[in-house]
């Protein structure tokens, strides 16, 4: 059997390649060369990139086997996440790989701006010894305002606290109590501007944050403010900043990011009170190595069919160990549900009962939808696009949880309402130390049967001889029965036969069975596809 193809479109460390392991065929191309990328991507199941490779709808269309795009870094500006989602392709990155490097660079820029390191260095290289001209200011006992108290903002706050600084922060999505635990006082943006001697920006770039620090904000800032932006370009208005620096309203700035990159020509570069670097936040050996190793682990998880905590376009998050065994079972229940329904349901409820409800079980809803649509739609169904497929087909989805489970330690049920108002349901559980999968209910009938590769469900009126008739027809068709269970709602009432067989039952054999037992319904399920 051929190994899955993993395409490296940019240079990654040997440790990253080693972390992928021997289970994949590693291929390489120059992702920045468009024609080379499109020619190479066709057989790839995973694509690893940095920042130079553009992964858009055209590239995704050229990669019918692609399951995951992994960006060895934090930003995803070069990956069309929406197009990937519509194609059922998981997108992963390494969100924590560069946080230490970025935090350290912010501190470095702050120190460099406060002590005029860049112009003093340039003067010395030009043969000038000007100690008095470049008198700086200490960080000790000054106030620093952190704009954005996320992972990097927290690290910066911790490091600057060690300098003896008083730390303020502005972040509308952080609770004051959490900030207080870190020794940080949470304030509004105006208070931060008027009370801070230093300010460091650590926000993502969104429609709400672009231009957040503009002319009005800089005009209200404490005179002599030193401003650092090592987050994203455009959050600080560069024209307004230039004016404030030139007039002396803002004392100095340390910049690693710009509104348009690469940026080699800016009026800011002409100012002596600006120290600038070319987006070096993640440019350390350690950050690059962490990013490569993180996405290698994610690719292995993605290609083994598991959810990936670092996936940016998959609902859910870290999966508890107690929940993981239920994922493949739930996906099978979804496929059985679709076979029983024979159509797309208008409403699908994923009910989870028992001890596992103390954990986040959102992943089981995704697994159910993946199973429900796998045998309905022609495109590849994944944990990524399954909710989108449900929405496109008008299927309302609910996840219901209940800690009480009278008959089983844990129970997963998929119940749906069809167009005519009728309902279909299928339930499963895991039993024993080995967590063996069992089907325990179908359309209200209690069962106990293993969900093997080939299943069949026959509903008919309870009467003598029907089991023998079914067995005889299957025997004539050379189909071996691995397991059989009969359930009924009452003597002489509705009955259900659940069959586990060793091979697929041909359509004509199913039709013969239906005729022979006057079945109300006959459904076969093939879980091998």
Nearest one of 223, 268, 227, 272 to 249, comparing CA atoms: 223
Task: Tell me the pLDDT tens digit for each residue of 257-289.
Answer: 999 988 999 999 999 999 999 999 988 999 989
Residue 310 lies in a domain: no
Residue 367 lies in a domain: yes
Bridge-based pairing of strands 521-526 and 454-461 is antiparallel
Residues 245 and 373 in one domain: no
Give the H or E element holding residue 455.
strand 454-461
Residues 235 and 296 in one domain: no
What pLDDT is attached to residue 334? 95
CA distance 322 to 235: 42
Q: For the domain that residue 508 is a member of, what is the CATH number?
A: 3.30.70.260
- The residue-averaged pLDDT of 213-229 equals 97
Q: For the domain that residue 44 is a member of, what is the CATH number?
A: 3.40.50.720
Residues 117 and 184 in one domain: yes
Residue 313 lies in a domain: no
Residues 353 and 397 in one domain: yes
CA distance 183 to 157: 9
Residues 89 and 118 in one domain: no
Domain of residue 115, residue span: 99-276
Task: Tell me the pLDDT tens digit for each residue of 25-77.
Answer: 999 999 999 999 999 999 999 999 988 899 999 999 999 999 999 999 877 88
User: Sorting pLDDT into bands at 50, 70 and 90, what band is 82?
Assistant: confident
Joined together, the tokens standing for residue 274 give 């600006």
- 8 Å CB contact between 421 and 463: no
What pLDDT is attached to residue 208? 79
Which domain-ending residue is among 450, 481, 512?
450
CA distance 300 to 20: 7
Q: For the domain that residue 356 is a member of, what is the CATH number?
A: 3.30.1330.90
Residue 281 lies in a domain: no
Residues 272 and 142 in one domain: yes
What pLDDT is attached to residue 529? 67
Per-residue buried b or exposed e for 289-298, using 16+ beta carbons within 10 Å of the residue's own CB: bbbbbbbbbb
Task: Give the Cα-Cα-Cα angle 349, 354, 358 (nearest 5 degrees).
Answer: 95
- The residue-averaged pLDDT of 194-217 equals 92
Task: Tell me the pLDDT tens digit for each residue of 151-183.
Answer: 899 999 999 999 999 999 998 867 777 788 889
Task: Tell me the pLDDT tens digit for each residue of 372-426.
Answer: 988 887 666 877 778 888 888 889 999 999 999 989 999 999 999 998 899 999 9
Q: Which of the residues are catalytic?
A: 232, 261, 279
Task: Tell me the pLDDT tens digit for each residue of 478-493.
Answer: 999 998 989 988 777 8
User: Sorting pLDDT into bands at 50, 70 and 90, what band is 427?
Assistant: very high
Residues 463 and 480 in one domain: yes
- The residue-averaged pLDDT of 137-162 equals 95
Residue 171 lies in a domain: yes
Which domain-ending residue is among 428, 450, 472?
450
Number of structural domains in the chain = 4
What pLDDT is attached to residue 231? 93
Distances (CA, A) of 457 to 370, 411, 514: 21, 21, 11
Provide the strand spans (E) within 61-151.
68-71, 90-92, 143-147
Residue 308 lies in a domain: no
Residues 133 and 254 in one domain: yes
Average per-residue pLDDT in the chain? 91
- The residue-averaged pLDDT of 501-518 equals 92
CA distance 79 to 312: 11
Residues 403 and 255 in one domain: no
- The residue-averaged pLDDT of 320-335 equals 88
- The residue-averaged pLDDT of 363-369 equals 91
CA distance 387 to 398: 11
Residue 135 lies in a domain: yes
């Amino acid at each position: 059997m051929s190994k899955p193809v993993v395409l490296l479109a940019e240079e990654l460390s040997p440790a990253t390649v080693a972390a992928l392991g021997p289970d994949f065929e590693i291929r390489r191309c120059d992702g920045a060369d468009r024609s080379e990328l499109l020619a190479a991507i066709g057989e790839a199941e995973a694509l690893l990139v940095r920042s130079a490779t553009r992964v858009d709808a055209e590239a995704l269309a050229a990669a019918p086997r692609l399951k995951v795009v992994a960006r060895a870094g934090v930003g995803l500006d070069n990956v069309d996440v929406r197009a990937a989602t519509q194609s059922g392709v998981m997108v992963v990155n390494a969100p924590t790989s560069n946080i230490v490097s970025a935090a350290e660079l912010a501190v470095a820029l702050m120190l460099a701006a406060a002590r005029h390191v860049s112009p003093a260095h340039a003067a010395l290289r030009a043969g000038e010894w000007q100690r008095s001209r470049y008198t700086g200011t200490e960080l000790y006992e000054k106030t620093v305002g952190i704009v954005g108290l996320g992972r990097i903002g927290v690290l910066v706050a911790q490091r600057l606290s060690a300098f003896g600084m008083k730390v303020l922060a502005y972040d509308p999505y952080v609770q004051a109590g959490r900030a207080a635990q870190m020794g940080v006082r949470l304030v509004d943006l105006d208070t931060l501007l008027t009370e801070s001697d230093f300010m460091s920006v650590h926000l993502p770039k969104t429609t709400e944050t672009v231009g957040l620090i503009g002319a009005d904000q800089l005009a209200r800032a404490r005179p002599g403010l030193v401003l650092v932006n090592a987050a994203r370009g455009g959050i600080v208005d560069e024209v307004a900043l230039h004016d404030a620096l030139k007039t002396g309203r803002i004392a100095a700035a340390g910049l690693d990011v710009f509104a348009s990159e690469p940026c080699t020509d800016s009026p800011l570069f002409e100012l002596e009170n600006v120290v600038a670097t070319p987006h070096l936040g993640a440019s350390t050996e350690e950050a690059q190595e962490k990013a490569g190793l993180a996405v290698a682990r994610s690719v292995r998880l993605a290609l083994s069919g598991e959810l990936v905590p670092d996936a940016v376009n998959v609902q859910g998050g870290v999966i508890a160990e107690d929940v993981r065994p239920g994922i493949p079972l739930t996906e099978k229940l979804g496929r059985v549900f679709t076979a029983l329904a024979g159509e797309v349901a208008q409403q699908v409820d994923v009910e989870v009962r028992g001890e596992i409800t103390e954990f986040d079980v959102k992943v089981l809803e995704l697994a159910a939808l993946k199973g429900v649509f796998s045998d309905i739609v022609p495109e590849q169904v994944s944990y990524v696009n399954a909710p989108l497929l449900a929405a496109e087909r008008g299927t309302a989805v609910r996840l219901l949880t209940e800690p009480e489970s009278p008959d089983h330690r844990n129970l997963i049920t998929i119940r749906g309402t069809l167009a005519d108002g009728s309902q279909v349901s299928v339930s499963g559980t895991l039993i024993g130390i080995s967590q063996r999968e069992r089907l325990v209910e179908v359309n209200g009938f209690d069962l106990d049967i293993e969900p093997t590769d080939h299943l069949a469900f026959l509903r008919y009126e309870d009467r003598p001889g029907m089991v023998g008739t079914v067995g005889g027809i299957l025997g004539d068709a050379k189909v071996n029965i691995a397991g059989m269970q009969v359930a009924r709602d009452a003597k002489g009432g509705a009955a259900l036969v659940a069959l586990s067989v060793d091979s697929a039952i041909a359509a004509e054999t199913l039709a013969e069975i239906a005729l022979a037992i006057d079945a109300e319904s006959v459904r076969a399920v093939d879980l091998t596809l």
